[in-house]
Structure 1
Amino acid sequence: EILADTIIEPKIGKKKKEKIIEKPKNYTTVYVNDNKVELKDKDKYVFIDLFEYIDFDLSKPQGLLVLLLNDNKAGYHDILNNGDKIAIRWE
């Protein structure tokens, strides 16, 4: 029941804008030559993907390329897992 003396005013409130920061759903952290590298664009990574994230020039060979994954010889298609230790160097 509304009385004649009652003034009804709509409530006006300011809504706060909230920023939603989405973390990548899948990411893998590896250590390349003792440097932390976060891989964030795919569900799974293979060894060759690393060259998109690190500064290592394969176009000018400087000897024999050594690829190690957790102290074992690695191939370009070896799957990378979170926490892997990787060494890439010329010998």
Structure 2
Amino acid sequence: MQSEQLIQKVISIIAENQYIPQEEISLESEFEKLGIDSLAALGIIGEIENEFNIIIPNDKAFLITNVRQLVESLEEFLSTATTHTS
């Protein structure tokens, strides 16, 4: 999945999960400014894990506080999964 597609998919998941219009979410959006607390963020990360069939360890998940960090973590785990299955 290309990076722009990945960004749009993550934004879509956040928007659907939190009932926020997609146009209000950008790569630079901070979860706190979107009204997303830590529990809601873990719910979003859980949806991401299900969508992409990956597991983001809790110690990493708790450090994710914005959309960019979520996308970068996802890219990292997807590339690791691809490397391990190749």
Alignment TM-score, normalising by the size of structure 2: 0.30
In proportion to residue count, which structure has more helix?
Answer: 2
In proportion to residue count, which structure has more strand?
Answer: 1
